Homo-oligomer: A and B are copies of this chain.
C-alpha cells in the first residue's frame, strides 16, 4: 500500500486520511490526535466568534506541531423574515415547555451571526497551514489573502457543478461529499440540494476537474478506503467513525444511537439548522417537520434551536438534539481514542 501521493505531499501528512470537521463533536484534542497519528485533523470553527476561533486554534497548536486544517462555513447571512422566525420561535418555546427543559429561545433582536469574513485575519495571524470550507466559496478577497499567506485551500462539493466552480477559484483540493455523508450538506448551487452517491460523484467530478479529490461519505474501514481510492480519490475524509471517540463532544445518547443505527435510519432534514443535513431520525425532526411551519434559513434556524439543543444535550436527551450521522454509522461506533480508530482503519487498509 503506497500512501504517499501529490496530495499527502501538499498537505504534509503521512496518510491521506482526513478527520472531518464536525461542529459540536470535534474537539481540539481530536484534531491533534489525528494530526499526531499522521492524518489531517480538521478543526470546525463555522459561526464562531473571532475570540473563540482564535482560542480553539491555539489549543490545537498547543497539542500538535503537525499540519492540521481549520474549517470555515463560507455562507452569507440572509435577512431575517421576522414573521417566519417568530412563528418558529414561538413553536420552539412551546416544545421546550412541553419537555420540561430549562431554556428559552433567544429574541430575534439578540441574534448575532459571525461569518468567515471575521475569521480570515485570525487564520493568517495564527499561521494556520490548511483551511477547508463548506456551504459555499469565500469571496475573492478572502481567498487571495489566504493564498498570499501560503494557506492551502480545500473546498467542498456535493456535485460536479460545484467542483467546477471550486476549480475556477484554484483551490488546492476538493472534498467530494457523497449523499452517504452525515451532517450538513456542503451544497451551494441554487435549486434542489444535490444527492449524488460517491460511486457516481467521484468519477463524474474526476472527469470534469483536474484537482486532487477527497472522497467523503460512509468511509470508515479498509474496504471503503480502498473503494474510494479505486474511484480515483487521492484521500478520504472520515467523520461518523470519530463521533464515538473518546475525544468527541458527543453525548452518550448520540453515541448509543450511532451504534444501533440502520442504513435507513438517517434522513436529510432542515429542522435543526435551516440547512440540509443528514442525521438520525428523532422526535425533534418529526415534530418540527409536522408543524408545517416554514423553517428559517441557516444560520437563523440554527441559532433559534441552539438553546433547546444545548439543554437537551445536558440531559443526554437524544430525541431533541441533532444526531448527525452518515448512512453506515453502526459499522464504526467504537468508543476508543481517536488515534486508535484512525490506526485501525490504516491497518485494515494495509492488510487488504
Contact = CB atoms under 8 A, between A and B. Distances in A.
A180 B199 contact: yes
Interface string A219-242: 101011011101110000000000
Copies in the complex: 2
A326 interface: yes
A160 to B, nearest CB: 5
Interface stretch (A3-11, A190-198, A248-256, A314-322): A190-198
6 contacts: A191-B264, A194-B264, A196-B263, A198-B198, A204-B263, A223-B231
A200 B218 contact: yes
A330 B267 CA distance: 28
From DSSP, what is the main secondary structure of chain A's interface residues? loop
Interface string A285-313: 00000000000000000000000000000
A203 interface: yes
A258 interface: no
Interface residues of A, number: 42
A110 B305 CA distance: 54
A139 to B, nearest CB: 25
A200 B218 CA distance: 5
Given A227-B199, A262-B161, A328 B218 contact: no
A263 B217 contact: no
A304 B247 CA distance: 57
B179 A264 contact: no
B194 A263 contact: yes
Contact of A197 (B179, B264, B267): B179
B203 A331 contact: yes
Nearest to A327: B200
Nearest to A226: B230
A228 to B, nearest CB: 8
Given A180-B199, A198-B199, A199-B199, 8 more contacts: A161-B264, A179-B197, A180-B200, A191-B264, A199-B227, A201-B327, A203-B328, A204-B262
